[in-house]
């Protein structure tokens, strides 16, 4: 292979939330099967721009390097995706890397995604099992149902689905596809279903499911292939039935 | 509700630290927005295309159909409640929804994203067109519009092209709006069901566009394919 082949990486950097953003270009030595994280590691080792100017190492997040932790979501060549599964050989050069714009910036490529976690709490996205005594095993779940739930449960809270959504921006509080999918997942669970009404009530609240206008970018962007539009419509049906008929049966 | 919340707090201590759901009125207004597009606005659209199709029979039949509609009992309250108010609501609330969204087609040019963007634009065009159309054919004519009035408007090439654009925008917005409705009201869930709904609602949109354009054709070229009915 071409020895000494290099790749050009352009990174949008910002030292702190209050400082202005700027672009910096780096040149990185090419190696086989390189991913974008490998480029960032190289830059961290030798933080010098393409033009020889020393700079600070680029801050970024990554853990698993196999698309299961969700930490490394960034916008690469204009598309929001996981950096660890973005292979350099499949990307146009120069490779442009930006932080996601739907979340408050922390530094360089690091953003603060706690909005998703706060929304998950507000939407009661868990199965309540803690108590003062052992409540014993829950009901069994039919295999077909397990299969559906398994697909939904693979969400890694990366935030790509929020980043690509035209309804997630500073004018709207939309919680985003991932959170609506969580509502469906936990309402499907026999124990979780005990709180179905509370979740549905919350999902009709501020920034709730009504904000979705079906641009359906989420389902294309999800690295885990979660059927997000399906979840969305399913929760739409549940929330509507709960709103229309719920009060009669309570 | 309070009783239930208290019970939860007992078993799950962390429930007390969970932020409460923030109630929002926008849920009901959003649902009414999508519903109002189907009934009464979509239903009226179908009726409107139906009665205007009399232009394809004869001028007399067209004028008769207009006269019948113009002389219904309770005309103004019926118009106000079933047509004007819903359209004003749907239009202005639609603009509000527009203002909360952005378009990112340049980055994510997927099919459904295009439909989302087109739904916004056609909605705006349709709203402006309908406003003008109602002003010219309903208010300028003192509610006594005839074949002649419409034909005169269409004789102007500028207005004619506005009619063509308006009808195409309305038909698209209605067809795609039906699909949106099927999603937003959870009438279809699975991907296949969504796709089938897209075919059906798309066909309805195309049907409206074709019928609308044929009506224009009837006005402009005095084309009366159903004239033999009247003879
Ligand atoms: S639903 Fe998909 S895109 Fe959204 S946060 Fe979860 S894994 Fe990421
Ligand atoms: S590093 Fe875990 S998803 Fe990329």
Question: Which tens digits make up the pLDDT trace of A22-32?
Answer: 999 999 999 99
* CA distance from start to end of chain B: 69
Ligand approaching nearest to the C-alpha of A36 = 2
- How do residues B197-207 score in pLDDT, each as one tens digit? 999 999 999 99
- The answer, yes or no, to whether residue A106 has pLDDT greater than 80, is yes
Contact: B187, A237; criterion CB under 8 Å: yes
Q: Which two tokens stand for residue A170?
A: 């500073």
| Minimum mean pLDDT range among A129-133, A191-195, B104-108, B184-188 | A129-133
For atom 7 of ligand 1, the residue with the nearest CA is A155
Distance CA A11, CA A26 (A): 8
Closest CA to B83 of B122, B54, B50, B46: B46
- In whole angstroms, what is the distance from residue B124 CA to residue B117 CA? 11
Judged by average pLDDT, the poorest of B79-83, B129-133, B137-141 is: B137-141
Q: Which of A72, A151, A162, A177 to mutate to test the pocket of ligand 1 (most atoms within 8 A of CB)?
A: A177
Contact A123, A183 (CB under 8 A): yes
* Nearest ligand 1 atom to alpha carbon A154: 7
Q: Which residues line ligand 1 (CB under 6 A)?
A: A 155-161, 177-178, 181, 221-224, 226, 228
Which of B8, B19, B31 lies closest to A122 in CB terms?
Answer: B19
CATH 1.10.760.10 fits A6-111, yes or no: no
Assess whether pLDDT exceeds 60 at residue B5: no
Question: Could you give the CA distance from residue B200 to residue A52 in angstroms, rounded to a whole number?
Answer: 60
Pocket test for ligand 2, best of A69, A109, A113 (most atoms within 8 A of CB): A69
- Picking from A164, A247, A165, the residue whose alpha carbon sits closest to that of residue A209 is A165
- Sheet containing A73-76, strands listed edge to edge, beginning at the edge strand earlier in sequence: A22-29, A6-13, A95-98, A73-76, A79-82
Contact across the interface for B191 and A227, Cβ inside 8 Å:
yes
**Is B34 at the interface with chain A, CB within 8 A?**
no
Any idea what DSSP says for residue B212?
Answer: H
SS3 letters across B59-114: HHHHHHHHHHHHCCCCHHHHHHHHHHHHHHHHHHHHHHHHHHCCCCCCCCCCHHHH
Q: Identify the pLDDT of residue A2.
A: 52
pLDDT at residue B39 greater than cutoff 70? yes
| Res. B23: pLDDT tops 80 | no
CATH 3.10.20.600 fits A114-249, yes or no: no
Q: Which of residues 177-216 of A touch B (CB under 8 A)?
A: 195, 198, 201-202, 204-216
Mean pLDDT of the residues in chain A: 94
Closest ligand 2 atom to A84 CA: 4
Q: Report the residue from B97, B112, B186 with minimal CB separation from A216.
A: B112
Nearest to A160 by CA among A229, A88, A74: A74
Question: What residue ranges do the domains of chain A occupy?
Answer: 6-111, 114-249
Structure letter (DSSP) for residue A20: P
Query: Could you give the C-alpha distances from B154 to B133, B143, B164, B217, B223, in angstroms and in order?
Result: 11, 18, 10, 10, 14
Report yes or no: A204 and A243 within 8 Å, Cβ to Cβ: yes
Residue A3 pLDDT class (50, 70, 90 cuts): low
Q: What is the DSSP string of B154-195?
A: HHSHHHHHHHHHHHHHHHHHHHHHHHHHHHHTTS--SHHHHH
pLDDT digits (tens, 9 = 90+) for B86-116: 999 999 999 999 999 999 999 999 999 999 9
Residues 83-142 of B with CB under 8 A from A: 97, 99-104, 106-108, 110, 112-113, 115-117, 119
Cα–Cα distance for residue pair A63/A74, rounded to 1 Å: 14
B window 163-202, beta carbon within 8 A of A: 179-180, 183-191, 194
Give me the residue spans of the domains in chain B. 24-230
DSSP 8-state symbol, A228: H
Query: Which of 2.60.120.10, 1.20.1300.10, 3.40.50.460, 2.40.30.20 would CATH assign to domain B24-230?
Result: 1.20.1300.10
* Between residues B4 and B91, the one the model is more confident about: B91
Asked if residues B42 and B177 have their Cβ atoms less than 8 Å apart, the reply is: yes
Mean pLDDT, rounded, for A68-87:
97
Give which of B84, B22, A53 is closest to A43, Cα–Cα: A53
Residues 6+ apart with CB under 8 A from A176: A116, A119, A159, A161, A162, A165, A168, A218
- Distance, CA of B121 to CA of B46 (rounded, Å): 21
The closest CB to that of B23, out of A121, A130, A205, belongs to A205
Give the number of other CB atoms < 10 A from CB of residue B109: 11
pLDDT for B3:
43
Give distance in angstroms: CA of B184 to centre of ligand 1. 20
User: Looking at chain B, which residue has its C-alpha nearest residue A221?
Assistant: B108
Tell me which residue in B18, B102, B190 faces A166 most closely, judged by beta carbons: B102
Establish whether residue A71 lines the binding site of ligand 2, counting it when its CB lies within 6 angstroms of any ligand atom: yes
The model's pTM = 0.91
Confidence of residue A246 (pLDDT cuts 50, 70, 90): confident
Are the C-beta atoms of residues A179 and A204 closer than 8 Å to each other?
Answer: no
Local confidence band at A132 (pLDDT 50, 70, 90 cut-offs): confident
Under 8 Å between Cβ of B179 and B197: yes
Asked if B186 and A198 come within 8 Å (Cβ–Cβ), the reply is no
């Amino acid at each position: 292979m071409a020895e000494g082949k290099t790749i050009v990486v352009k990174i949008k950097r910002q030292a702190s939330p209050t400082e202005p953003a700027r672009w910096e270009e780096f040149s990185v030595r090419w190696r086989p099967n390189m991913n974008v994280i490998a480029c960032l590691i190289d830059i961290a080792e030798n933080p010098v721009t393409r033009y020889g100017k020393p700079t600070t190492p680029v801050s970024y997040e990554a853990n698993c390097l196999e698309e299961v932790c969700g930490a490394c979501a960034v916008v690469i060549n204009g598309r929001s995706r996981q950096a660890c599964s973005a292979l350099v050989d499949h990307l146009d050069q120069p490779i442009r890397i930006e932080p996601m714009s739907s979340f408050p910036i922390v530094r360089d490529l690091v953003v603060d995604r706690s909005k998703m976690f706060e929304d998950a709490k507000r939407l009661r996205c868990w199965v309540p099992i803690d108590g003062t005594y052992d409540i014993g095993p829950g009901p069994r779940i039919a295999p077909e149902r397990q299969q559906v739930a398994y697909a939904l449960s693979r969400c890694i809270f990366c935030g790509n689905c929020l980043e690509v959504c035209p309804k997630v921006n500073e004018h709207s509080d939309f919680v985003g596809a991932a959170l609506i999918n969580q509502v469906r997942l936990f309402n499907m669970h026999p124990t979780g279903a005990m709180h179905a009404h509370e979740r549905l009530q919350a999902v009709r609240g501020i920034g709730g499911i009504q904000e979705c206008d079906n641009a359906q970018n989420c389902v294309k962007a999800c690295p885990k292939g979660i059927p997000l539009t399906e979840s969305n419509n399913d929760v739409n049906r549940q929330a509507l039935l709960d709103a229309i008929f719920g009060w009669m049966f309570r | 509700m309070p009783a239930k919340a208290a019970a939860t707090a007992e078993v799950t201590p962390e429930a007390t630290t969970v932020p409460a759901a923030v109630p929002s009125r926008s849920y009901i207004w959003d649902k009414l927005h999508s519903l109002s597009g189907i009934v009464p606005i979509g239903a009226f659209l179908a009726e409107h295309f139906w009665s205007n199709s009399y232009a394809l029979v004869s001028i007399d039949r067209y004028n008769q159909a207009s006269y019948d509609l113009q002389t219904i009992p309770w005309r103004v309250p019926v118009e106000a409640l079933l047509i004007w108010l819903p359209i004003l609501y749907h239009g202005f609330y639609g603009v509000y929804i527009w203002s909360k969204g952005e378009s990112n087609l340049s980055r994510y040019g997927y099919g459904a994203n295009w439909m989302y963007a087109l739904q916004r634009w056609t909605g705006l065009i349709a709203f402006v067109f309908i406003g003008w159309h109602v002003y010219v054919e309903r208010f300028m004519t003192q509610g006594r519009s005839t074949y002649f009035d419409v034909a005169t408007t269409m004789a102007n090439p500028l207005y004619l092209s506005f009619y063509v654009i308006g009808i195409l925008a309305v038909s698209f917005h209605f067809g795609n709006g039906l699909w949106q409705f099927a999603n937003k009201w959870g009438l279809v869930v699975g991907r296949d069901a969504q796709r089938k709904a897209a075919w059906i609602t798309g066909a309805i949109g195309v049907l409206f566009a074709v019928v609308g354009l044929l009506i224009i054709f009837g006005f402009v070229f005095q084309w009366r394919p159903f004239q033999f009915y009247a003879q």
